Amino acid sequence: MNNKWLYVELSTVGYKDAWDLQTHLVSARHENRVATDVVLMMEHPAVFTVGRRGGLNDLTVSQNFLKKAGIPVIQVERGGRITFHGPGQLIMYPVVDLRALNIAVTDYVGNLEEVMIRTADNWGIKAERNPMNAGVWVDGNKLGSIGIAIRHGISFHGLALNVNLSLKPFRWINPCGLQGVGVTSMERELSSRIPMSQVRTTIKGHFEAVFGVELVTADSMSLT
């Protein structure tokens, strides 16, 4: 296993642009045009995404309402159902050859959860797993989500950690298709905003520790 993975840190990237970059990297990794795994970090403008098991019935408002609010709804191939992404939510998209890593999908998802749990703990937030649902939770409210897809044995999509995210749009959906489930953020738990730059640095370090790799900074342009 190559213990040095490429790391691309971006600011705010449109969801479809990020999706296109991931699918390009999956093909490049499969064809060995990119010889190692890649981790993308970013935020998204406001968007709802619907996974393989979801549908528009998970919306609690009309599509016309969302259109007026300027929030698109995008169907994607990741697992799970509907979720919201927006500014203040930290996204990590690892593009990882699970076969080369020799890790089961359940263990890989568990590692992504562990990365978020350790990150939250740095700010004194005690997040935990829910054995029935992927992601991490604080007192029954969802703090971080996980949804992945696998193509050619390569995982993409990834995790979303609510840092300073507006939680209002979650009222317009059944988050992850779960009725009556609350959503929280690090800001809400601490009653204060957290510098996103600090969270980015912290979660990167925990990712390296959990996966036993070194993330080497790269430019996205060098991978396209």
Q: pLDDT of 133-160, one tens digit each?
A: 889 999 999 999 999 999 999 999 999 9
Distance separating alpha carbons of residues 169 and 66, to the nearest angstrom:
10
For the four alpha carbons of 21, 22, 27 and 31, in that order, the dihedral sign comes to: positive
Give the number of other Cβ atoms within 10 Å of residue 219's Cβ.
10
Would you say residue 176 has pLDDT above 60? Answer: no
Distance separating alpha carbons of residues 158 and 95, to the nearest angstrom:
9
The type of residue at 149 is A
Number of domains into which the chain is organized? 1
Would you place residue 1 in the very low, low, confident or very high pLDDT band (cuts 50, 70, 90)?
low
Q: Hey, what are 10's tokens? A: 């971006």
Q: What's the pLDDT score for residue 60?
A: 81
Q: pLDDT of 94-107, one tens digit each?
A: 999 999 999 999 99
Distance separating alpha carbons of residues 136 and 149, to the nearest angstrom:
19
Would you say residue 204 has pLDDT above 60? Answer: yes
Distance separating alpha carbons of residues 73 and 56, to the nearest angstrom:
9
Which CATH number do you get for residue 179? 3.30.930.10
Q: What is the pTM of this model?
A: 0.93
Cβ-in-10-Å burial (0-12, 13-18, 19+) of 182 comes to middle
The region of weakest confidence among 11-15, 60-64, 145-149, 168-172 is 60-64
Mean pLDDT over 106-130 rounds to 98
Decide if 190 contacts 184 (C-beta within 8 A): no
The answer to whether 176 is a known catalytic residue is: yes
Among candidate residues 176, 183, 194, 223, the one labeled active-site is: 176
Its domain, for residue 93, covers: 4-223
Beta bridge partners of 45: none
Q: pLDDT of 54-72, one tens digit each?
A: 667 788 888 889 888 899 9
